[in-house]
Structure 1
């Protein structure tokens, strides 16, 4: 039997939905991509700065690893309070404030004088950036129904590999202006890459809209449809059952997602912070190094968008995360065995694809079983707990292993192991009980 053709009313509703999603995507996605581009650039540009900064400041690889990782101590401490503050005061005000503060702190890193001032600035930068990423994930859940969320999350998260792809040649070029105005190249790197964040923070205050019901740039039918659609979605989750902070804290699914995220974060910051130094060992100059370092990130940008689109098309999350983590683990193993620059770049490209492709379907999962304050707290908890291992412990372990062994192979094997563990956890996640579909209210 053939199914009946859709009614005119159904066609009209589908057209309204498509037009609304297209309009909010064009308004929100490009802007938050630029914001995250600057956020990620300001946290990982220290990897390029280290090529000359470590010598100037007398930092060992282990000291640098501590400084790179201590960023996430502040990041973890302030993650949940910051996300709850965003929910209370609105994304427009809170994100604008965070950006201005972290832009100033990032630029101020140019004037550190030794390991302790380096540690202090990195810790403060982590505090300032703590609320941005989980805040945007929460913000997207206000604007996009769950069936559209993985793709728009992927578009947002392309900013991380894009910041490495575009920022790497820029960072390499900035290192080459050593001596201008009596400043080192690494100092100019922090100043030049921190200043745009302050400016865009001010723009955010005027550009962002907190909730769909406040969106005067949508037509009345679009605004009404989106507002009602998001209300229905929240109701389908069972607001009374999963809307408090405590609901997120005690939910074991949050812990499992945090463990998966820990592996992807370890890989993300291994590449973001250490890849310039790993590639530098093959004899590239600063600018050429930046161009070479852009290649794995180009692969990641294309791959993660296609992967997320397929995840939305099939409405499947768990296996998309598991397969991507498996690919990333294999890529890291290949990079650790690399005996030439070509093999290294292939390994890093596979790893970078897997690490970034896993994140959009992963971040589509918590807002499908948490809502309200629980969603704000749960996203922040996953981000904080995952960052504890991935962002804090990971860089410190890699730096220590580098000092012990004389190369980065052991560090890359360590990262590979964390990604393979994430693949196993993700594969096992929800086999007995689905966690990515809203539970209907029972009578």
Structure 2
């Protein structure tokens, strides 16, 4: 199958783009785009992770007050991702059709309001219901942002900007660790428990960001008043080059792409990565408490692993960009995460557990950042919205729903999280194999398409 033939008009347009883009500093243009967009996307994702992850800090008093067992708590963790996955694809298709300004801001306002409503749950049923609604409200945020970045960031810069965005995950856990403990001290103020204040105060920023984003975000580069005409021409040319360098899969429609076995192997690879992302922060405060860390110090100690994750993710994603290699780096990061979880499972001291969590954080966040460069690089733009959403959905429903349930069941039956950590380590090893197989096949197809 050959790539679509370029017309005389296409050639004339490209020639005018090349002339207009001559002399443009590409790195400076991309940096300008990054400064404009990334702070908002990071802030948005920070509050989303904060609104998901604050449950681990609220659980110290909330579980007892609501009568939640470890298994019930695990169901609450996982049911969020069930709602999240069911609405992932429609949300991402809405972004492709209506634009980021409407879609991302709608997501932010809704999940902020739902987070605040967590303060009013009264038992297991209302707990499950609001957590499911939170997943529905937040559906499409992660793949939507990666899709949005693919409209703005040329291929050679994507891994580092994916990593910059992914900073928001460990940054949110650092922020949650430092802020949530302080908010819990409001316990009893105006007759509200500390965990209720946690949800009320940490849900409000999302609503504010959503309203602000309506006036701030720009859907596409050609609509950006803050870019010059020549900068727009350079960016359009770079994005077009990336599009034309795709594999013969360019002519596939979305349904045909989803019938490709290679894509489903890649999806299986993402399941393990998402499993790690769903568990790396959810159980850390409780594990630290098991090792005797006082509640007043847990916030500070819990900030150490995500800080290590930020540093490791930066180094590995930049290395991936310099070498223009995605697959091997993703595989290496999943192996690092597996080693980290295995270390936590086998640890017998706080220091060893912290080392394990640091390795796990590095592997989880770096693999998450670099992994998304694979579909962004090798999938044609026309099918990218739906396929990226499908990858994210299956990762959420299997990695985010099954893993917490499994760990909760293991904890309740064995009174230990070690077996659950081993399960996550094995999933990461399986992910490394799947990403290696699928990634190599996609790369081979892309190379054939450019020959």
Shift of the alpha carbon at 1:15? 4.7
Name 1:175's counterpart in structure 2. 184
Conserved? CA contact 2:109–2:211, under 8 Å: yes
RMSD over aligned Cα atoms = 1.9
Shift of the alpha carbon at 1:229? 2.2
Conserved? CA contact 1:402–1:408, under 8 Å: yes
Structure 2 CA distance for partners of 1:433 and 1:72, relative to 1, 3 Å: closer
Q: Distance in 1 between matches of 2:331 and 2:249?
A: 31
Gaps of at least 5 residues in structure 2 are 1-17
Q: Distance in 2 between matches of 1:437 and 1:163?
A: 36
Conserved? CA contact 1:248–1:370, under 8 Å: no
What SS does structure 1 have at the residue aligned with 2:360?
helix
Shift of the alpha carbon at 1:172? 1.6
Q: Distance in 1 between matches of 2:441 and 2:389?
A: 26
* Greater displacement, 357-366 / 12-21: 12-21
Shift of the alpha carbon at 1:438? 6.3
Shift of the alpha carbon at 1:13? 4.4
Structure 2 CA distance for partners of 1:14 and 1:348, relative to 1, 3 Å: farther
Name 1:186's counterpart in structure 2. 195
Structure 2 CA distance for partners of 1:242 and 1:363, relative to 1, 3 Å: farther
Q: Distance in 2 between matches of 1:29 and 1:162?
A: 14
Structure 2 CA distance for partners of 1:334 and 1:219, relative to 1, 3 Å: same
Structure 2 CA distance for partners of 1:251 and 1:198, relative to 1, 3 Å: same
Q: Pick from 98, 105, 123 the counterpart of residue 114 of structure 2.
A: 105
Shift of the alpha carbon at 1:244? 3.0
Name 1:117's counterpart in structure 2. 126
Structure 2 CA distance for partners of 1:127 and 1:15, relative to 1, 3 Å: same
Q: Distance in 1 between matches of 2:36 and 2:144?
A: 18
Name 1:252's counterpart in structure 2. 261
What SS does structure 2 have at the residue aligned with 1:241?
helix
What SS does structure 2 have at the residue aligned with 1:272?
coil
Name 1:129's counterpart in structure 2. 138
Q: Distance in 2 between matches of 1:26 and 1:112?
A: 39
Conserved? CA contact 2:263–2:438, under 8 Å: no
What SS does structure 1 have at the residue aligned with 2:291?
coil
Gaps of at least 5 residues in structure 1 are 1-8
Q: TM-score of the superposition, structure 2-length normalised?
A: 0.92
Shift of the alpha carbon at 1:407? 1.4
* Equivalenced residues, count: 433
Say if 2:371 is the partner of 1:336: no
Q: Distance in 2 between matches of 1:242 and 1:34?
A: 37
Q: Distance in 1 between matches of 2:379 and 2:72?
A: 39
What SS does structure 2 have at the residue aligned with 1:284?
coil
Q: Pick from 28, 32, 48 the counterpart of residue 39 of structure 1.
A: 48
Say if 2:101 is the partner of 1:92: yes
Name 2:431's counterpart in structure 1. 422
Deviations 1:304-333 (A, max 9, x none): 011101001101111101111111111111
Q: Distance in 2 between matches of 1:135 and 1:115?
A: 31
Structure 2 CA distance for partners of 1:367 and 1:221, relative to 1, 3 Å: same
Q: Distance in 2 between matches of 1:289 and 1:67?
A: 22
Structure 2 CA distance for partners of 1:417 and 1:327, relative to 1, 3 Å: same
Q: Distance in 1 between matches of 2:158 and 2:447?
A: 14
Name 2:91's counterpart in structure 1. 82
Shift of the alpha carbon at 1:337? 1.5
Say if 2:400 is the partner of 1:385: no
Q: Distance in 2 between matches of 1:17 and 1:438?
A: 25
